[in-house]
Amino acid sequence: MIQVRRAGERGHANHGWLDTYHTFSFSDYYDPRFMGFRSLRVINEDWVKPGHGFPTHPHRDMEIITYVLDGSLEHKDSMGTGSVIRPGEIQKMSAGTGVRHSEFNHSKSEPVHLLQIWILPEKDGIKPMYEQKTIPAEEKQGKLRLIASPEGGDGAVTVYQDAKLYATALNSSQSVQHELGEGRYGWLQVARGTVMVNGNELHAGDGAAIAAEPKVEISGTDGNSELLLFDLA
């Protein structure tokens, strides 16, 4: 069974400096039908204007993943980490017992387009940790590239939950397949372009909850599709 979550049905807020869409209930947007999916709690698609950003704010007991699509985002946190996240990279912050951080777009002309993802950890009270990895474009072109998992390693960041995250980029002649094991669920989020997923056409911003489907088949239908696939307990 595949339940499609259309881009236009998401929660939306425009704060001037931040234009944001919420796949699941977040902040002032609340829909009891969309409180998350399995351990996946938040997928926010954000556009941050030049010279603006998120001031220092706290998090705890959450696995937070940032995936930048366009532009660059500076990160600073109370662990002493300072970095810039660009397209082709993935950042993970385990908030655990508590961390404060800020995110800022220092460009004078270019907005930042990103996906921010929250995953509930397997337990509370984890020591706060930070990771950032580069994902070469050729490693996700026409194939599913593991970018986050409980084991980490091999270019993937570590998440403290029984969840795996894959990224892929597809042109109109490419397709990928992923088998969901028994008792596993999938969530697919289209970052850009248009794809077919088990016979369902999905566009940029669309998401899909996948249950009782042993295999996920994804085909690109234009020249520039990019998406994330979550494999969840």
Q: How confident is the model at residue 71 (pLDDT cuts 50, 70, 90)?
A: very high
pLDDT > 90? residue 87: yes
Give the three-state DSSP class for 156: strand
Q: What is the mean pLDDT of the chain?
A: 97
Residue 24 has pLDDT above 90, yes or no: yes
**Which residue in 144, 135, 145, 206 sits closest to 177, CA to CA?**
144
Burial 204-224 (b: 16+ CB within 10 A, else e): bbbbbbbeebeebebbbbeee
Beta bridge partners of 83: 75
Residue 222 has pLDDT above 90, yes or no: no
Question: Which domains does the chain possess?
Answer: 2-232 (2.60.120.10)
Say what the pLDDT of residue 112 is: 98
> Residue 153 — pLDDT band, cuts 50, 70, 90?
confident
